Amino acid sequence: MTISLESRSAADHEPEGLSIWPRSTRAERGGDLSVGGASLTETAERFGTPLYVLDEQEVRDRCRAYRTAFPGADVLYAAKAFLCRGLINWVREEGLGLDVCSAGELTLAVTSGFPPERIVLHGNAKSPEDLATAVRLGVGRVVLDSTSEIARLAALVPAGERQQVMVRVVPGVAAGGHAHIRTGTEDQKFGLSVADGSAQHAIARVLGQPRLELVGLHCHIGSQITTVRPYVSAVRRMIGLMARIREQHGLELPQLNIGGGHGIAYRPGEESLDVPTLAARVRAELTDGCGKAKLSVPRLTIEPGRAIVGPAGICLYRVLAVKRTGTQTFVAVDGGMSDNPRPALYGVRYAPRLIGRHSTAEPRCVTVVGRHCEAGDLLAQDVPLPGDVHPGDLLAVPVAGAYHLSMASGYNLVGRPPVVAVVDGTARTLVRRESLEDISVRDIGV
């Protein structure tokens, strides 16, 4: 079964408020919820908290929905959102490629059996190890982000071989849910500017390297984008640059990568990007623009990450304390910014839910906070929870699959949570809990 990537209304699920949860979510007796046929309360008791639960079928269905929306395109899962061996296998089995940003992500993928030719490596500052690993493992394409990478990569390619590359371009399009995740403008670290000529200079240098094969252009305009228009504008500008490349160098580039950044809803009522509409508008713009420029329509590549894994994840926390200070009520849980730094980084707002028991108490507006020694350790501000919430209660946070564990830290040495996959009523560990022994073994002494 495939699913739409559009938001659904709260009426699609009972009880109210489950519109942003995985589609397998069901209300059970005693205030419990099940996901993928597995009880969240029982899963928390079995594996402990904090705990990440990932709905395998939701991930697979979202992969299939992207392939349906973008037939004939290369759909690459953006590994930075979250990566583990289990997820790598799901993505491979569903026919997607991978977008990686380091030798670590690349090596994990290839040693898990992912075909290297279906992998794209990029990043704004690739280390010598990143580039050497890409060449050694036979990565499909490398996205060049600076002129210094050109000669460095070419020197690593064996004689008689050619490495396919793309040049990341700054299209001058501002989009994204926060200033820190807008990457399509001149005032950030990614890509090469068309406006100042650095992109054109890099393209000319690549064409002068016999061991590099320029196959296309890349752009990524931002993240958590919920409207189609910025993508259409970026495509239009990229077509213009491709036309100039043909005029100056006599070369028609066969590929165009427009990145990802597709927005999702974190709370009921929020907007998400309509992916089928995006696909239709981008395809129409490519066809029309290339027709006017007398260019062949390039093969399209997209890089969704958050939109595939984000809505499939739930984080479970146990309440440790409830503190009322003046007009504020703080509900402290056994995790926090070490397993989810996004509220502190971007001001992201979540919708935690009490599970595991029914409550008839009137809702109270509270702030859910973490256990760490930091005033900014806030997980959810001004959210309604039953007024009788107390230590020992279980809270579930939906839309927790992306940029949580992948950005986790070792703050206060509490250890990172495990990841459990649920499908067909069973739960299994994908990533085990980080233990104190794991933390200690890296500290080799005085």
What letter represents residue 419's amino acid?
V
Distances (CA, A) of 295 to 244, 255, 339: 11, 12, 47
* CA 79 – CA 87 distance, rounded (Å): 9
Contact 275, 5 (CB under 8 A): yes
Tell the residue number behind the tokens 């299939």, with chain if given: 64
Please tell me which residue in 63, 84, 365, 373 is annotated as part of the active site. Answer: 373
Active site residue 84: no
Tell the residue number behind the tokens 């067909």, with chain if given: 424
Query: Beta 328-333 vs 313-325: how paired, if at all?
Result: antiparallel
Q: Which residue numbers are catalytic? A: 373
